[in-house]
């Protein structure tokens, strides 16, 4: 039986030739630019905690859901665009290898973006403080605690990844996936404090910044464990389909 690593390797080659790399670089850069000028316009120094929570908030609240939406549609359209699913389905390998490779590619890019947002935000704040040393963030920089926060945001987004990728791979048009992502992000933004936000895939990641520990734990469990279950269901469902 062919190894799934072959499909993963091929998917990596496809990603290198797509716009995924440009998107993965643009989002952290945009957040970094925003934080750079945000610090410069301040009047007095603020703690590192506040700045890093702001960076995590921008990422989890808006940029992460929209990035997952765009990346899922992009990865799916690599095959939908040239109508290559029929050819891929005729290859002598389990069909789930193809979808698992898409999934791993998306998860890998989002993981790299999470790290890039963390590093780009920290670099932007340091760079801004060079222009205005009096505004250098105060207090200790708890790197591991901030990385832990970004890690929880990442794992809580698994359900979001499952929903967006499932729709993007299921429908040949990119419109359903984009419409779902835009609509979900819109309702997440306008209903930030709503109770349903703890189960809404597009709003689950931002719950990692909530002050209520129960809400954080609940959202993390739903996003991570529910996401794993949804991703397995996605692989089973798509592998059994004959028409793409």
pLDDT tens digit string along 205-238?
999 999 999 999 999 999 999 999 999 999 999 8
Kindly state the DSSP code that residue 138 receives in the 8-state scheme. Answer: B
∠ CA(22), CA(58), CA(48), 5° rounding?
110
At 92, is the pLDDT very low, low, confident or very high (cuts 50, 70, 90)? low
Residue 34 or residue 88, greater confidence: 34
3-state secondary structure of 47: strand
Mean pLDDT on 124-149: 94
- Cβ pair 79, 88 in contact under 8 A: yes
pLDDT tens profile 36-80 = 999 999 889 999 999 999 999 999 999 999 999 999 999 998 887
Mean pLDDT on 95-106: 89
Cβ of 79: how many Cβ atoms within 10 Å?
A: 19
215, two tokens: 């809400």
Angle in degrees, 0-180, between the axes of helices 175-190 and 158-170, rounded to the nearest 10? 150
Specify the pLDDT at position 88: 65
Helices and strands per DSSP (H, E), number in the chain: 10, 0
Residue with tokens 């207090």: 139
Specify the pLDDT at position 148: 97
pTM summary value: 0.92
Q: Rounded to a whole number, what is the largest CA-CA distance in the chain?
A: 64
């Amino acid at each position: 039986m062919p190894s799934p690593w072959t499909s993963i390797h091929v998917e990596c080659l496809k990603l290198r030739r797509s716009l995924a790399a440009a998107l993965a670089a643009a989002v952290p850069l945009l957040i970094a630019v925003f934080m750079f000028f945000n610090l410069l316009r301040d009047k007095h120094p603020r703690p590192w905690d506040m700045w890093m929570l702001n960076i995590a908030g921008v990422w989890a609240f808006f940029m992460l859901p929209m990035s997952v939406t765009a990346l899922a549609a992009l990865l799916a359209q690599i095959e939908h665009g040239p109508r290559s699913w029929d050819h891929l389905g005729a290859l002598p390998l389990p069909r789930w290898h193809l979808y698992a490779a898409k999934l791993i590619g998306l998860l890998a890019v989002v993981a790299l973006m999470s790290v890039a947002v963390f590093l780009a935000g920290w670099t932007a704040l340091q760079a801004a403080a060079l222009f205005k040393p009096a505004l250098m963030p105060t207090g200790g920089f708890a790197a591991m605690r901030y990385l832990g926060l970004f890690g929880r945001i990442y794992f809580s987004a698994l359900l979001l990844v499952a929903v967006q990728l499932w729709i993007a791979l299921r429908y040949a048009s990119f419109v359903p996936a984009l419409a779902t992502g835009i609509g979900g992000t819109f309702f997440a933004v306008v209903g930030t404090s709503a109770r349903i936000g703890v189960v809404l895939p597009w709003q689950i990641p931002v719950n990692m910044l909530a002050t209520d520990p129960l809400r954080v734990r609940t959202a993390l469990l739903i996003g991570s464990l529910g996401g794993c279950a949804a991703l397995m269901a996605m692989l089973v469902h798509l592998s059994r389909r004959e028409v793409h």
